[in-house]
Amino acid sequence: MPSYKAPFDDVLFLLNDVFRVERYANLPGFADASPDIVEAILGEAAKFCEDVLTPLNRSGDVEGCTRHGDGSVTTPKGYKEAYRQIVEGGWVGISAPDEFGGQGLPMFMTQQVNEFLSSANLAFAMYSGLTQGAIAAILAHGTPEQKATYLPKMVSGEWTGTMNLTEPHCGTDLGLIRTKAAKQADGSYKISGTKIFISAGEHDLSENIIHLVLARIEGAPEGTKGISLFIVPKLLPNTDGSLGARNAVACGSLEEKMGIHGNATCVMNYDGATGWLIAEENRGLHAMFTMMNEARLAVGLQGLAISEVAYQNAVAYAKERLQGRAISGTKAKDKPADPIIVHPDVRRTLMTIKSFNEAGRALVVWTALASDLHHRSEDDKTRQAAEDHMSLLTPVIKGVLTDTGFASTVMAQQMFGGHGYIAEHGMEQFVRDARITMMYEGANGIQALDLVGRKLPRDGGRALQAFFAEVQGFIKEQGANDTMKVYVEPLGKALGHLQQATMWFMQNAMAKPDNAGAGSTDYMHLFGLVALGYMWCRMAAVAHEKLKAGANGSAERMNAKLVTGRFFMERVLPETGAHLARIQSGAASMMELPAEAF
């Protein structure tokens, strides 16, 4: 049975030492997030995840969800009780505004809790995670009445939320949506159509489910310019807030799938269901993007979270499993063989995952802080810069943290040899669960296209230039510092590769767009490596400072940080060179063969 321990110390190091969140005490909600409060809240979350959710991960996977004849869906045993604790603990609304019953705490708190939840039990964490995304969309685009009707119950977790985009013939290309919305005399709409793959579409955890549904109003233009967003509750709320009639929306079936069995993935049938428009007519995709962007960051975090729990179990196994002797000489003389952690190739694997996890977590915290600055700062320039950061980093976090998170999970499974392939140790479940993160919320190929096609050129490349300037500024500041050379020099080289790749696109992709498409995934990973390398440099600088100042009981951890960062710089970051070479080879060999030749 796998185990999980929330990486509490690592999180506190990032919040208190690397990003020094107390600097932002003047922002709304930050004064309530003093170090002791953060520690207390995250400590509670860690305990809940370790003690309650981790044991349900495997049983939930084995049992899965069940659809009954009347269309209702039961979640695995223990989910209902655990979800009650989510509501009682106020975990859904940690960062939601006080006026709707939230705690108003910074977004970095929500992200951190979500990492713990997703490591402990990804399938379960999705129920509350999707609700947070739906809350964000209603907050940004709902009318005052809609906010008053839905938000308090969603923020408390009593009602959950879903996002309904996908249809059988349309996933990436949402311009093909066919679900229809017919306007009624009272201003509501009748929604008809079929949505597939809807996570948490029907279940028994909450008393109501609020579906956010993309549909086309009769007579709307073709394509993405004719799509609107609707709130469609499972049970129609009465004006006094009580629950009324059942709406004409039902789960037609549950998808049989590879992983996340504890999350109900539903075919949802809308049969003239009553819905209300959110945002303007035909601007639905724009409004849904609020939820999608939030969800993309959340999915990136899921990739990291599974990598973390898989890593923890791989380390425990590598310390116990006795096979062979160390090539440098016997280590465990009293045992028939040495534990496999003595072997360099096992170390290579574990260090690769560890160095990704710790930098990935830093990248998530950095971006969550940008989200806080974007929503809470009073300074226009700060808000703009924070929005630029989020917009640029969202596809990178989604694409890189899930591609690499999955690869890390497979590497962790590999540490178990054949024992990783059988179910007993839980490693094959992590692999199955992690796989979806690369596909949903926009497959990763689409994230790469979003980065290269939309995010790089946006506002004349303002966000990209700001990112370059920040990394260059750090390199300049730390370049003369001898102890930082092993970190800063490789980062400078990797940044150079990213700049060359960007220039190559500017010179070669305008006239031949296939060159951009052909290099986009490599570019996304090249970008991700530079961002992760930058995170390592920042962590190394702080670790050095702390060691110089006496480290106050954390010397061992700070030394481990420095070594792990060095490993990343020496053994992982050089991949930027291969990405650049692939990008610069262009699209020719990729596109030359006719489709019939495949």
Ligand X SMILES: Cc1cc2nc3c(=O)[nH]c(=O)nc-3n(C[C@H](O)[C@H](O)[C@H](O)COP(=O)(O)OP(=O)(O)OC[C@H]3O[C@@H](n4cnc5c(N)ncnc54)[C@H](O)[C@@H]3O)c2cc1C
Q: Which residues of the shown chain bind ligand X in the complex (CB under 6 A)?
A: 163-166, 171-172, 197-199, 257, 265, 436, 439-443, 445-446, 449
- The token duo for 119 is 């490591």
Catalytic, 441? Answer yes
- The token duo for 141 is 């685009």
Taking the complex as a whole, the smallest distance from the CB of residue 251 to ligand X amounts, in Å, to: 13
- The token duo for 419 is 């024992």
Question: Between residues 397 and 573, which has the closer beta carbon with respect to ligand X?
Answer: 397
**CA 4 to CA 119: how far, in whole Å?**
8
Taking the complex as a whole, the smallest distance from the CB of residue 568 to ligand X amounts, in Å, to: 28
Question: Between residues 287 and 340, which has the closer beta carbon with respect to ligand X?
Answer: 287
Question: Between residues 299 and 350, which has the closer beta carbon with respect to ligand X?
Answer: 299
**CA 170 to CA 487: how far, in whole Å?**
45
Among the listed residues 402, 406, 430, the one whose alpha carbon sits nearest the alpha carbon of residue 416 = 430
Beta strand 235-237 with 73-74 is unpaired
Question: Between residues 198 and 340, which has the closer beta carbon with respect to ligand X?
Answer: 198
Among the listed residues 66, 121, 162, the one whose alpha carbon sits nearest the alpha carbon of residue 259 = 121
**CA 446 to CA 398: how far, in whole Å?**
10
Taking the complex as a whole, the smallest distance from the CB of residue 401 to ligand X amounts, in Å, to: 17
- State the residue number with the nearest CB to ligand X: 171
Question: Between residues 155 and 436, which has the closer beta carbon with respect to ligand X?
Answer: 436
Question: Between residues 126 and 558, which has the closer beta carbon with respect to ligand X?
Answer: 126
Instruction: Indicate which residue of 441, 470, 570, 596 is catalytic.
Output: 441
Among the listed residues 344, 337, 345, the one whose alpha carbon sits nearest the alpha carbon of residue 320 = 337
Asked whether the beta carbons of 169 and 194 are under 8 A apart, the reply is no
**Apex 116 CA angle, 426 and 395, nearest 5:** 95
Asked whether the beta carbons of 145 and 331 are under 8 A apart, the reply is no
Taking the complex as a whole, the smallest distance from the CB of residue 5 to ligand X amounts, in Å, to: 28
3-state percent helix, strand, coil for the chain, nearest multiple of 5: 60, 10, 25
Contacting residues for 464 by C-beta, under 8 A, at least 6 apart: 392, 455, 456, 502
Question: Between residues 172 and 559, which has the closer beta carbon with respect to ligand X?
Answer: 172
**CA 268 to CA 437: how far, in whole Å?**
21
**CA 216 to CA 198: how far, in whole Å?**
18
The string over 326-348, giving b where at least 16 C-beta atoms fall within 10 Å of a residue's C-beta and e elsewhere, is beeeeeeeeeeebbbbbbeebee
- The token duo for 485 is 């050379």
Taking the complex as a whole, the smallest distance from the CB of residue 217 to ligand X amounts, in Å, to: 19
Asked whether the beta carbons of 284 and 214 are under 8 A apart, the reply is yes
Instruction: State which H helix or E strand residue 407 sits in.
Output: helix 380-414
**CA 302 to CA 295: how far, in whole Å?**
10
Among the listed residues 76, 285, 267, 92, the one whose alpha carbon sits nearest the alpha carbon of residue 173 = 285
**CA 573 to CA 529: how far, in whole Å?**
6
Question: Between residues 208 and 265, which has the closer beta carbon with respect to ligand X?
Answer: 265
Question: Between residues 103 and 179, which has the closer beta carbon with respect to ligand X?
Answer: 179
User: Which residues participate in catalysis according to the annotation?
Assistant: 441
